[in-house]
Amino acid sequence: MEKIVVKGGHKLIGKVRVEGAKNAVLPVLAGALLATKGKNIIRDVANLADVYTINEVLKSLGATVEYFPEKNEVIIDSSSTLSSEAEFEYVSKMRASILVMGPILARNGFARVSLPGGCAIGSRPIDQHLKGFKAMGAEISFGHGYVEAKIDGRLKGAKIYLDFPSVGATENIMSAAALAEGTTFIENAAREPEIVDLANFINEMGGRVIGAGTDTIRIEGVYELEGTLHHIIPDRIEAGTFMVAAAITKGDVTIVNAIPEHMTALIAKMKEMGVHINEEEDGLRIRVDKTLKSVDIKTMPHPGFPTDMQSQVMALMLTATGNGMITETVFENRFMHVEELRRMNGNIKIDGRSVIMQGPSNLQGAEVAATDLRAAAALILAGLASEGVTRVTELYHLDRGYVNFHLKLAALGADIERVSTESSDEVVMQTV
């Protein structure tokens, strides 16, 4: 078993560079399957466990995938005939595997994908994805834990209103519609920057997607798409996580490669807490020189406050004075980290879909377990501000979404290491 061991009490100072976005690269790599000619070259690909998983899914479908992690590049050739089935093995490991369904259905007229099921943060159904495929003429059926979509000939353009601006449904429908006959409108579409990145990628392949980033996306279907060169946008959640790391240690950190326009809600709320945030020539500078004050936050679809920053900001709020409330509206069960933060002496109460904090808590190092990807980051962040030593386990969650998280924090001055605990001794895995 591996653990991250962090000793609190060190201010973080310096510069850190963020990687390409996990939530942009996964739909783009799935969308690469739309190309029936040429090769797709995808750059600024972060070296994440989820990237290995999606690459395995693409290979299992018959695409040729060359991955050069040292160059942050993936080359995909999907020009030969592809299989139509995404198996349980991959979908159960990573829900975003469902994003191959749109491209496969559009290309093959048939797709069979393992039902993703729920996870630690909520039930996460895919009814909105399927509603879109159905509106485009597909017949949907379920059996043996799989969902199947089938169409005679090509998918047909349609007007699709999403009941909720689901990120995955918008991406899956947009990809499918790229090769459909006629024009598709997605109304109440998700507006996340990652949606815009996927739309840009489809257009670079020769597609016609208009309006991504607004709540109505128009997709004029084309007959074929061709491989292209695409650069993935920077990871706004990794950037936000380092913003919290700087603030929670009352440090002074410049985040290189962040796009502030992708993080307006987070920047606004952190400023409201008293964090100094300035756009400087070399990046986004985060500085704290006083005690922070608690605020109220509600997670919302973009451009609202991102649910993927909820747990990290909760850790920060525990160090602030006064009463603060965080309300989670996107996922119904994204509070598993609360119990772990309580074990670190966090003063938090759950009240329905909200948590109430009375701060500042006198955070104390403890043995804690990550319950999901962002919870892993939040517990490490809390450890940076705790008295004594925190040990965080279940690091496979962290590796899904952060590259060398502990090394980046150590380079900023954190006392942190990743150890293997095969025997009773802790063996340091990597040092700076």
Ligand X SMILES: CC(=O)N[C@H]1[C@@H](OP(=O)(O)OP(=O)(O)OC[C@H]2O[C@@H](n3ccc(=O)[nH]c3=O)[C@H](O)[C@@H]2O)O[C@H](CO)[C@@H](O)[C@@H]1O
28 is an interface residue for ligand X by CB under 6 A: no
Binding-site residues for phosphoenolpyruvate sit at 22-23
Q: Residue 402 interacts with ligand X (CB under 6 A)?
A: no
Amino acid at 235: D
Q: How far apart are CA 380 and CA 404, in angstroms?
A: 13
Q: From the CB of 49, what's the least distance to ligand PEP, in Å?
A: 11
Residue with smallest beta-carbon separation from ligand X:
168
Q: Is residue 360 reached through a cis peptide bond, with omega within 30 degrees of 0 on the bond before it?
A: yes
DSSP assignment of 14-28, as one string? Answer: EEEE--B-HHHHHHH
The answer to the question of residue 43 lying near ligand PEP (CB under 6 A) is no
Residue number, 57 or 292, with CB nearest to ligand PEP: 57
368 sits in which H/E element: strand 367-369
Interface with ligand PEP includes 373 (CB under 6 A)? yes
Q: Does 168 bind ligand X (CB under 6 A)?
A: yes
Strand partners, 114: 146
Tokens (6 digits) for 31: 């969308």
Question: Residue ranges for the binding site for UDP-N-acetyl-alpha-D-glucosamine?
Answer: 95, 124-128, 308, 330
Task: Kindly write out the interface string for residues 36-75 of this chain, putting x where it contacts ligand X by CB under 6 A and - elsewhere.
Answer: ----------------------------------------
Q: Does 198 bind ligand PEP (CB under 6 A)?
A: no
96 interacts with ligand X by CB under 6 A: yes
- List 14, 62, 66, 127, residue binding ligand X (CB under 6 A): 127
Return the residue of 96, 179, 344, 392 that touches ligand PEP, per CB under 6 A: 96
The answer to whether 331 contacts ligand X (rule: CB under 6 A) is yes
Q: Work out whether 262 is an interface residue with ligand PEP (CB under 6 A).
A: no
Catalytic residue among 13, 41, 75, 119: 119
- Residue 330 touches which of ligand PEP, ligand X, none (Cβ within 5-8 Å per kind): ligand X
CB environment 131-169: b (16+ within 10 A), e (fewer):
bbbbbbbbeeeeeeebbbbbbeebbbbbebebeebbbbb
Q: Which is nearer to ligand X, 61 or 169 (CB)?
A: 169
Q: Which residue has the tokens 């985060």?
A: 286
Tokens of 428: 């340091």
Name, in order, each residue with C-beta under 8 angstroms of 350's C-beta and a sequence gap of 6 or more: 335, 338
Closest CA to 374 of 428, 331, 323, 325: 331
For ligand PEP, the binding residues (CB under 6 A) are 23, 95-96, 121, 308, 373-374, 401
